[in-house]
Amino acid sequence: MRAVIQRVKSASVTVEGEIVSEIRQGLLVFLGVAQEDTPADVNYVANKIANLRIFEDDEGLMNLSILDMGGEALVVSQFTLYGDCRKGRRPSFIAAARPEKADPLYQAFMDEISRLGVSVKAGIFQAMMDVELINDGPVTIMLDSNKLF
> Residue 102: exposed, middle, or buried by beta-carbon count in 10 A (0-12, 13-18, 19+)?
buried
Q: At what angle do helices 39-51 and 99-115 cross, to 10 degrees?
A: 40
Cα torsion angle, 9, 59, 4, 27, sign: negative
In the beta sheet, which residues pair with residue 32?
2
Catalytic residue among 14, 38, 80, 140: 80
Angstrom distance (rounded) from CA 103 to CA 33? 9
The answer to whether 38 is a known catalytic residue is no
Which residues does the annotation mark as catalytic? 80
